[in-house]
Amino acid sequence: MASTNTSTKKYEIREVGHECLHVYSRIPISFTIKSILRVKALDSGLGGLKLVEEKVKPYQKDYDSMELEGAGPLSWPKQFDLRAWGFFLAFDGQRPLGGATIAVHTPGLHMLEGRSELAVLWDLRVHPKRRGRGIGELLFKRSVEWARGRGCRQMKIETQNINVDACRFYARMGCELGAIHRRAYHGSAELAQEAMLLWYVDL
């Protein structure tokens, strides 16, 4: 474990190596969907796109369990060169309650857009029973500090229009919605109905 820690009265954020992904992967990423941000095209898109929140019949989503390339922390070492990445775990005593992963300087990772000064918040998760207690905010802020310390000037985050809570969280953290890709997942039967939302925050 790295020596760089961030502590609060209750939680401690520890920087770890990718060899701790077996611990990281035990933190559930699943969430309940109660509403979505429906993407409406105004004037066939010439008038822009509008996000309209709509209630849906509640259902569960777990991206870790899906058969997608790069899905689930244990698959990342098989897909990517993680040597430049940052990994953090949030602890309450000895219990890991949340995690964050930041990707930088990784040739071939399309999310980085070929930019050396861009970081990607690849993953941020908090145990379902501990959400809403500030752990996600601590992890986000530590990720920003880490990326800034490596010369990055901007951080990018991918969410989906079905994860309304995540969208509100990133907006609250000062991120700005930079792109909406309505058909980004059309090659996947599991994700075809979802839209990709890309958030950016200047560091």
Interatomic CA distance for residues 34 and 146, integer angstroms: 33
Task: State the CATH number of the domain containing residue 135.
Answer: 3.40.630.30
What percentage of the chain carries pLDDT values higher than 90?
83
Query: pLDDT tens, 71-124?
Result: 799 999 999 999 999 999 999 988 999 999 999 999 989 999 999 999 999 999
- Residue 195 inside a domain? The answer is no
The total of structural domains in the chain comes to 1
- Residue 165 inside a domain? The answer is no
- Residue 38 inside a domain? The answer is yes
- Residue 16 inside a domain? The answer is yes
Interatomic CA distance for residues 134 and 139, integer angstroms: 9
Number of other CB atoms surrounding residue 74 within 10 Å: 12
- Residue 49 inside a domain? The answer is yes
Q: Residue 6's closest CA among 85, 84, 101, 89? A: 89
Strands in the chain per DSSP E: 5-7, 12-16, 31-41, 49-61, 86-92, 95-103, 118-126, 154-160, 176-181, 196-202
Query: pLDDT tens, 57-81?
Result: 999 999 998 765 557 999 999 999 9
What range defines the domain where residue 101 resides? 5-158
- The answer to whether residues 136 and 124 touch, using CB atoms and an 8 Å cutoff, is yes
Structure tokens at 203: 């560091």
- Residue 182 inside a domain? The answer is no
Query: pLDDT tens, 13-59?
Result: 999 999 999 999 999 999 999 999 999 999 999 999 999 999 999 99
